[in-house]
Structure 1
Amino acid sequence: MLQLRYILCCLFFITIHCFGFQKQEIKNEGFSISTIYYEKTGNSLDSISAHLLSEDLFKITGDKPAISTSEETLQKSSILIGNINAEFIQKQLAVTVPKTFKKQKESYYQGWSKDKKHFIIAGTDPRGTAYGVFDLAEKNGVSPWYWWADVPVKKSGKLKFTEKDYFSKAPSVEFRGIFLNDEDWGLQPWAAKNFETETGDIGPKTYAKIFELLLRLKANAIWPAMHPSTKAFFHYPGNKQIAEKYHIVLGSSHAEPMLRNNVDEWKDDFGHFDYKNNKAKINEYWESRIEESKDLDAIFTVGMRGIHDSGMEGVNSIEEAATVLESVIQNQRSMLEKHRDKNAAEIPQAFTIYKEVLDVYDHGMDLPDDVTLVWTDDNYGYIRRLGNQQEQERIGGSGVYYHASYWGRPHNYLWLSTTNPALIWEEMHKAYEMNARKIWILNVGYLKPAEYNMQLFLDMAYDMSQFESASELENHRNEFYTTIFGKELGTQISALRKEYYDFAWERKPEFMGWSQTEPNTEVKSTSYSAFDYGDEIQHRLETYQNLGRQSDRVFKNSPDSLKNGYFQLVHYPIKGAMFMNQKQLNRDLAEKYAKQGRISAKSYQQKSLDSYDSIQKITARYNTISDGKWKGIMSMKPRNLPVFEKPEFNYKIKNTEKTVDFYIEGEHDRTNKLPTFYKGANDTYFLDIFLTKIGIVKWSLNDLPEWIMVSNRSGELNSDFNALQNRIYFQINWDQYTKSRNNDDHFILQLGRDFHQIDLQIKEYEHQESGVFEKNGLAVVYAENFQEQSAFRNYKWQKIADLGYSGAVMQAMPLNEKPLDTIDFQMKHPKLTYEISTESTAESAVLILNALPTHPITNKHGVRIGVKWDNEPIKILNFETQGRSATWKENVLSNKAEAKLPVNLTKPGKHTLNIYMIDPGVALDFIYLKTTDKSLPYGLLKETKLKN
């Protein structure tokens, strides 16, 4: 009987491990807990978990269970916390635990004792037990963010427990954690002056709260804060002790070998941080830390760079750097073996391949096989490269260091967390598919307001099986916000957050000054057009304003208990992004309108200044919410960069003899023609009428054809009432439209006593069966809207939703395959086929293909596609960029990479565009066909598909 029971248990366990987490059935409501028991001889984390759980249950039910290490308490209804192999757990278990489960790291069991009196939470190690404890708390209404984002605990008189025995899976990624960075502008001043005044710094009290959060998020690793404003982690003995108690794996950044903080700990009298010429001192420096940390659970960063995230000192070439690094790592490993009394291969070590270190590594340096390769992104969310087949087979495996916040070139993004979750998924899914599964570290800056991206990243690292496709992102986002805010409110909030990330995809709020850092450049006009493409500036202003209004409405309608959490997680980021866009774009309009002589320019100056004031006010509010708990945590101008400053206006309004003037959309040379209307497309164009001097002017539109629809037919500009300009919108009512006067249709614009004939241009295409169509010199194709698609073996183009300018990209798959050759395109290469109808003949037409600015997946790949226009030869285009080139800078600031191809338009009509796969990983977003010398929009135009 026992043997049969064991076999059934094993089969059950194998099933849940093959097919993901066992779905927990949460029942047994009303079970009364009198005591939380853990073994006196157990580890420190069992004690911490027990005490935190007692506090959690008190927040939920109002009753606080006692904490006990006396087995006498087992006579009462208890929660038992401990190791799965502990004797007291084994005595109470009603199931036989499979041996395979016991071998898993950081896993936990939840279930009932034999007599149903006790609920058991038992881990395969201390962190596994803690995860099980915090999982129970979360399922009963305690968010991991209850403290860090003031998410209220859901009250209930009854607790919920799993009905059936539950065995968790092992985490997908072994080491999962965060890097606290650039803390000068938030975490450090908040801790020093508000939360941990006794230390005056980020110390053990702050780290205890951070470590608790990590455990609640089922993470296990930390790279501590290390900027000049902060003392080194080991400066305060309590930090090390807290890490030990919470069983957090301590690491250090790419620039900090052997758990050292060079910025704080390498003193001037030590000499140069130059291994060639100061080897003895540097070895002594490292060895003392290794000895000090010999009992810590740690991952040791090997190799070296400069003092603070700079290149290696004392070397004159890549060859020399590689030789020195090999010597450095050999000596570091000897020190580790000496003080840890283990073979180096048994000690976790990481070699972070960051910036110039990638060039040194690729030069061919000899790196021990057991050292984990930690690949990095380019600081803007795009992984520079991953392991090829040979590298994937290394014993030490590989991982990723990824940024959700960054200080550096071409521009910081430290203020608001806007990295699109779909990009995080795309890049980290790519990493996981390429077997980078050992270490995942997320640079969260000063943690707030990166809460959601941190949650997503760590959830993926813990269980990647829940994120097999990008479609899972919506479920994750919805669950995150509905769990906190309830289903109705949470669903609204989730939609707002998606819009927030999508708007920032085109341009992050910190990048809206079109300035750069290191060296800092002044703010300049954006690349959004106020006069073409429906007024890109006004469109962006309106979309942000609408988002802000919706957030205001949700904030107002939220229960008081949720307001502080909503403000931190949602409202401040949305409103901050809105105000920054309003500040910069209204500044733009003021300048552009001043050049046209519009006296309304002054009102846009004021709008820009008002938005600057609004950023100050809402930031001050952040630092006072929750009764001042977060005072000092949020700065509105990290590093005091030009983009954050009060806007300046160094121009005068153009002087003109007229009192009133007008401007027609897209008309840079006065021709008095509205852009062409196309039958089957519901286009809207605008005409602006504006005062150039103080006065009163009446205007009207006369002789309008019956089929033209306008927003206003007449009006009055009056400077006394601040009515300084009017915008009139035009659209065709195609049901009433009839061709007349050889397309020479027009109307009369009367401005005071002046009359202006405005011509209307209308065209019809002969080819309307399918595809997209050129309009006013431009055709727009979204990559997902292909006419045909082909595959080859397991190679195919795959859609990733909610990513890119167009809202979906087509990515070359599978990621872990070799590139296809550059011959025999017609037979082997999966292709996407598009049809484009044109009205033009042009010798200088050009295709502009836009993709995500990704990098080659490995050093055996590129970022190439084959492109065939009609019957012309296939051309190979490459989106790859080199280093920190000017092209790369523009790419990451705009989240797109361009590749251009001149094409031959000898005749109007239908054309065929074929795009062939070469390199896996290429992610196509949208395509422009441009037939004139007109500037392209900065954002994305709506794709035009005419109807019969």
Structure 2
Amino acid sequence: MLIIFGIVQNSVFADEDAGMTLQLEPINKPSEDLKSQNSANSVFRIVGNDQSVPILYDKDDAAVVGLCTKALATDIERITDILPPLVTTLQTNGEAAIIAGTLGKSKPIDAMVKTGKLSVNSIEGKWESFLIQVVDHPLSGINRALVICGSDPRGTAFGIFDLSKRMGVSPWVYWADVIPAKQKNLDVAIDKIIMGPPSVKYRGIFLNDEDWGLKPWAAGKMDTDIGDIGPRSYARIFELMLRLKANYIWPAMHPCTKAFFYYKENPKIAAQYDIVLGSSHCEPMLRNNVDEWKNNFAKEYGRQPGPWRYDSNASEINRYWGDRVKQAAGQNRDAVFTVGMRGIHDSGLPGPVTMEGKVHLLNKIIEDQRNLLAKYLGTNSAGIPQIFCPYKEVLDIYNAGATIPDDVTMVWADDNHGYIRKLSTAKEQLRSRGSGVYYHLSYWGAPEDYLWLCSTSPSLISYEMSKAYAYGADRLWIFNVGDIKPAEMEIEFAMDLAWNVHAWKPENAAGYAEEWSARTFGKEYAKEIADIKTGYYYLAASGKPEHIDRIKFSEKEMNERLAAYEGIARKAEDLKHRIPDRLKDAYFQLILYPVLGAECMNKKHFSVQMGDAEQSKQAYEEIKKLTEIYNKVIAGGKWNGIMSMSPRNRPVFGMPEIKNRNSRSVSSERALEPVRTISVREFTFDSTRLHLVSGLGADSVSLSWTNFNDSSYSEEKAGSAPSASIKLELPNGRRMIELRCVPTHAVHEKRALRTAIGLGDQPPAVVDVNTPSGTEAWSKNVIRGYSSAKTEFILKEKGMITLQLSLLDPGLAISKILIY
């Protein structure tokens, strides 16, 4: 008999919601990907005969452990309708139990270690690591236990939710209504699991552009008393993060939202969930300037603020920053401090006009910020986690000579459209605190937003982030996720990759959709759903739904796109009837809405151009209908306010102009037609150095040199570079060859993206598709999904000839070749 004391009530949210695995340290080699193995004796029964084993934890362990054990109990109840008792004090004669705790903070765990029942050598002293193991006679009075032991509190939390996932509970059980199947008995097959430490130390999300989704939903459904994103919302967000093995957040910060620290419960909730606080590239020192400087300064300080200019108002700004550091120190907050300075929101550094003046001022700002950290945190600033993010114009200041202390992590940014602008040079890779990446899955800005749907493929995410990791960016990854929804699968992929960067390399990342679909909807539907997602990503790669009005397609191309969209949309519609009832709401959110919405967006714009105004109007009305279902029908209206069909009211979301009901606006100009279009699949190449990356680029596959940190080749040594060739028959005369590539950037300023193009015995022509971000050419590239370079050859005779492409720089990804 198991006698229990201190039974703990379940989560505050409970009433709202109906082998051997080894991950060795560190996760930096392909050989250390996960392996699974279970023996016949590894089955542990959690629920049987209408009874659940209790869950034991130490009430003096970290708060996050208690929260996660309560969530685990809820997850078990979701599956079995049996709520396990939560136990904090244990006496004798128990058959079995789940025991969760942190090494050095949990008395039951430490007792097992002391008696030799539990070996923790594999995780002791390591960052966010955990083991899950079945232990016989772990403690006096317990015959058998499923033990979850973390090296630190977050490690314990990750271990607890790893068990939930293995039981069949999706991380999206709340956030996308992925309801697990009911089971009368609940067994798990586990000998021993060891996981961690992660590939990337800090793995986080940035809640951004929340005006049309997360904010109105939170105000109307969660934090209704304050009408804002507040502690109830953040508790849900933080639990999701732990389920995804994320640990770091940049809170929401738009003008529609009060600063994170404005609500006193917010940082307390973050501390309870052991989430590391940070702030965005334009919010130094954990300060939300949009709210705290512009709106709330007078309330906090009793007067209006002076100018947001460090060259003329340094003392006031320093006090403002210092007060936040003191507040964080007083709350014993685990935080990463952003250093540097930009405009109040997403704009340039105010003050100096010259670049020399900007460099000098930025250096002074960072020096003063570090002095504040040292003063109020009681330690040398070198020991305090800090980041510097050279985002947008800040990269120019950095390149002009700004001095960033060695112990500040450089967080390189993408170009806002998923292509990383710069990574660390060999010298920069020697920095003691390394580097990281700020990457967008959602964006407001030039050349156009993408705030409605999420269509950045796992293949592109893996390609860019694997490249970053190869250049030492293993300290911090932060993803702009907008409103979280509808980027669920993409966020989960990003966090899975950050945990183990070798699990989903560019060459196999396209397979993630099927693996994720199997976990989310069941193996019997996984292949069909993966095919739908693959088609969705493929079509978006050559024109995101939010960008479709900015691309000039031929009538043939429009009809091809509409046919392709109709194909995946019909598959999605057909499958919805076979999806289990418990998952229909999840299926609508995760699959049906984005696929049908993207189809209708293309149909709305193309139909007008091809003279069918009525079909265009029908498509517009269908998007309205789908969005109404999302907000007010699925899950009983749970998500009302989360989905807008027109974020920021950009022109693409409205009805296209109809001049005459049946008028056509397709250009009558004939585009130059190629005499031959060649897929990279047709080439012969050295597979030891070049790889086909499925799902990457506008043509569904790209050929790339994925040993990203290899040396480049000079033009003189192009013959030794990785190459691909094809024999083809061409007519004589002047021939132009166009190379279309993934519109990424050279890995850093000392590299390029060059290809030597050879045709027959003619001297090769070298082209470079590297395009500076912010230029007109770059804008065109990121909207249409490819960069382009052209060169001409003169063929004196027609006949068979060899086309050879020599890739001179790693990171180049070729998608298609056209010959005119």
TM-score, scaled relative to structure 1: 0.78
Q: Work out whether 1:165 is the aligned partner of 2:192.
A: yes
Alignment of 1:386-535 (within 5 A): 386-474=423-511, 476-514=512-550, 526-530=551-555, 535=556
Over residues 213-267 of structure 1, what are the superposed CA-to-partner deviations in whole Å (9 max), with x where a residue is unaligned?
0000111011100011100000101111100000000111111100111111113
1:842 paired residue number: 733
Contact 1:612/1:647 (8 A) holds in 2: no
CA distance in 2, matches of 1:777, 1:919: 27
| Residue 42 of structure 1, aligned match among 47, 57, 61 | 61
User: Deviation of residue 790 (structure 1)?
Assistant: 5.4
CA distance in 1, matches of 2:93, 2:430: 49
Contact 2:757/2:806 (8 A) holds in 1: yes
CA distance in 2, matches of 1:218, 1:824: 45
| Residue 164 of structure 2, aligned match among 137, 143, 158 | 137
SS of structure 2 residue aligned to 1:557: coil
2:394 paired residue number: 357
1:807 paired residue number: 700
CA distance in 1, matches of 2:62, 2:376: 23
2:691 paired residue number: 798
Code of the residue aligned with 1:923 in structure 2: it is A
Q: Decide whether aligned partners of structure 1 residues 42 and 830 sit closer, same or farther in structure 2, where only a CA change above 3 A counts.
A: closer
User: Deviation of residue 359 (structure 1)?
Assistant: 1.1
User: Deviation of residue 576 (structure 1)?
Assistant: 0.3
- After superposition, the CA RMSD in angstroms is 2.4
| Residue 331 of structure 1, aligned match among 368, 382, 386 | 368
Q: Decide whether aligned partners of structure 1 residues 846 and 174 sit closer, same or farther in structure 2, where only a CA change above 3 A counts.
A: same
Unaligned runs of 5+ in 2: 1-19, 138-142, 296-303
Contact 1:29/1:158 (8 A) holds in 2: no
Over residues 520-575 of structure 1, what are the superposed CA-to-partner deviations in whole Å (9 max), with x where a residue is unaligned?
xxxxxx52212xxxx22222112111221111111122222111000000000000
Q: Work out whether 1:536 is the aligned partner of 2:536.
A: no
1:725 paired residue number: none
Code of the residue aligned with 2:610 in structure 1: it is L
Code of the residue aligned with 2:680 in structure 1: it is A
Q: Aligned residues, how many?
A: 772
Code of the residue aligned with 1:174 in structure 2: it is K
Contact 2:463/2:506 (8 A) holds in 1: no
Q: Decide whether aligned partners of structure 1 residues 545 and 13 sit closer, same or farther in structure 2, where only a CA change above 3 A counts.
A: closer
2:305 paired residue number: 270
Q: Work out whether 1:21 is the aligned partner of 2:40.
A: no
Contact 2:415/2:773 (8 A) holds in 1: no
SS of structure 2 residue aligned to 1:868: strand
CA distance in 1, matches of 2:514, 2:242: 22
| Residue 630 of structure 1, aligned match among 611, 614, 639 | 639
Code of the residue aligned with 1:528 in structure 2: it is F
Contact 1:13/1:167 (8 A) holds in 2: yes
CA distance in 2, matches of 1:361, 1:877: 28
1:614 paired residue number: 622
Alignment of 1:535-554 (within 5 A): 535-554=556-575
Report the structure number with the largest CA radius of gyration: 1
1:680 paired residue number: none
2:128 paired residue number: 106
Alignment of 1:713-752 (within 5 A): none
Q: Decide whether aligned partners of structure 1 residues 286 and 504 sit closer, same or farther in structure 2, where only a CA change above 3 A counts.
A: same
SS of structure 1 residue aligned to 2:725: strand
1:778 paired residue number: 675
Q: Decide whether aligned partners of structure 1 residues 889 and 74 sit closer, same or farther in structure 2, where only a CA change above 3 A counts.
A: farther
Over residues 743-774 of structure 1, what are the superposed CA-to-partner deviations in whole Å (9 max), with x where a residue is unaligned?
xxxxxxxxxxxxxxxxxxxxxxxxxxxxxxxx
Over residues 103-136 of structure 1, what are the superposed CA-to-partner deviations in whole Å (9 max), with x where a residue is unaligned?
2111111113341422211101111001111111
User: Deviation of residue 651 (structure 1)?
Assistant: 4.5
SS of structure 1 residue aligned to 2:219: helix
2:178 paired residue number: 151
Q: Decide whether aligned partners of structure 1 residues 654 and 328 sit closer, same or farther in structure 2, where only a CA change above 3 A counts.
A: closer
Contact 2:755/2:807 (8 A) holds in 1: yes
Code of the residue aligned with 1:149 in structure 2: it is A
Over residues 840-875 of structure 1, what are the superposed CA-to-partner deviations in whole Å (9 max), with x where a residue is unaligned?
x434x3111111111010121011122223333222
Alignment of 1:657-676 (within 5 A): none
Over residues 710-753 of structure 1, what are the superposed CA-to-partner deviations in whole Å (9 max), with x where a residue is unaligned?
xxxxxxxxxxxxxxxxxxxxxxxxxxxxxxxxxxxxxxxxxxxx
Q: Decide whether aligned partners of structure 1 residues 58 and 820 sit closer, same or farther in structure 2, where only a CA change above 3 A counts.
A: same
1:279 paired residue number: 314
**164-173 or 300-309: bigger deviation:** 164-173
SS of structure 1 residue aligned to 2:613: helix
SS of structure 1 residue aligned to 2:715: coil
1:376 paired residue number: 413
Q: Decide whether aligned partners of structure 1 residues 352 and 81 sit closer, same or farther in structure 2, where only a CA change above 3 A counts.
A: same
User: Deviation of residue 464 (structure 1)?
Assistant: 1.6
Q: Decide whether aligned partners of structure 1 residues 55 and 270 sit closer, same or farther in structure 2, where only a CA change above 3 A counts.
A: same
Q: Decide whether aligned partners of structure 1 residues 559 and 636 sit closer, same or farther in structure 2, where only a CA change above 3 A counts.
A: same
Q: Work out whether 1:30 is the aligned partner of 2:45.
A: yes
Over residues 792-820 of structure 1, what are the superposed CA-to-partner deviations in whole Å (9 max), with x where a residue is unaligned?
xx8x3322222223332111242112321
User: Deviation of residue 666 (structure 1)?
Assistant: 12
Over residues 271-319 of structure 1, what are the superposed CA-to-partner deviations in whole Å (9 max), with x where a residue is unaligned?
2211111101110110011111111111100001111110000011222
1:563 paired residue number: 584
Answer 1 or 2: higher relative contact order, Cα 8 Å, separation at least 6: 2
2:301 paired residue number: none
User: Deviation of residue 73 (structure 1)?
Assistant: 7.0
Q: Decide whether aligned partners of structure 1 residues 259 and 668 sit closer, same or farther in structure 2, where only a CA change above 3 A counts.
A: closer
1:904 paired residue number: 794
SS of structure 2 residue aligned to 1:576: helix
SS of structure 2 residue aligned to 1:449: coil
Over residues 337-392 of structure 1, what are the superposed CA-to-partner deviations in whole Å (9 max), with x where a residue is unaligned?
11111221111000011111111111222111110000111000000011111111
CA distance in 1, matches of 2:447, 2:648: 14
CA distance in 2, matches of 1:618, 1:292: 45
Q: Work out whether 1:185 is the aligned partner of 2:238.
A: no
CA distance in 1, matches of 2:663, 2:202: 61
CA distance in 1, matches of 2:800, 2:428: 47
Q: Work out whether 1:246 is the aligned partner of 2:255.
A: no
Q: Decide whether aligned partners of structure 1 residues 70 and 418 sit closer, same or farther in structure 2, where only a CA change above 3 A counts.
A: same
Q: Decide whether aligned partners of structure 1 residues 101 and 542 sit closer, same or farther in structure 2, where only a CA change above 3 A counts.
A: same
SS of structure 1 residue aligned to 2:564: helix
Code of the residue aligned with 1:181 in structure 2: it is N
Q: Decide whether aligned partners of structure 1 residues 119 and 776 sit closer, same or farther in structure 2, where only a CA change above 3 A counts.
A: closer
Q: Decide whether aligned partners of structure 1 residues 920 and 22 sit closer, same or farther in structure 2, where only a CA change above 3 A counts.
A: closer
| Residue 108 of structure 2, aligned match among 83, 88, 99 | 88
Contact 2:756/2:805 (8 A) holds in 1: yes
CA distance in 2, matches of 1:668, 1:509: 25
Over residues 614-640 of structure 1, what are the superposed CA-to-partner deviations in whole Å (9 max), with x where a residue is unaligned?
111110110011111000110000100
CA distance in 2, matches of 1:443, 1:778: 42
2:86 paired residue number: 67
Q: Decide whether aligned partners of structure 1 residues 430 and 111 sit closer, same or farther in structure 2, where only a CA change above 3 A counts.
A: same
CA distance in 2, matches of 1:378, 1:852: 13
Code of the residue aligned with 1:147 in structure 2: it is Y
SS of structure 2 residue aligned to 1:460: helix
Code of the residue aligned with 1:150 in structure 2: it is D
CA distance in 2, matches of 1:65, 1:666: 67
| Residue 241 of structure 2, aligned match among 198, 214, 219 | 214
Contact 1:106/1:127 (8 A) holds in 2: yes
Identical aligned residues as a percent: 38
Q: Decide whether aligned partners of structure 1 residues 198 and 400 sit closer, same or farther in structure 2, where only a CA change above 3 A counts.
A: same
CA distance in 2, matches of 1:856, 1:279: 37
CA distance in 2, matches of 1:884, 1:12: 41
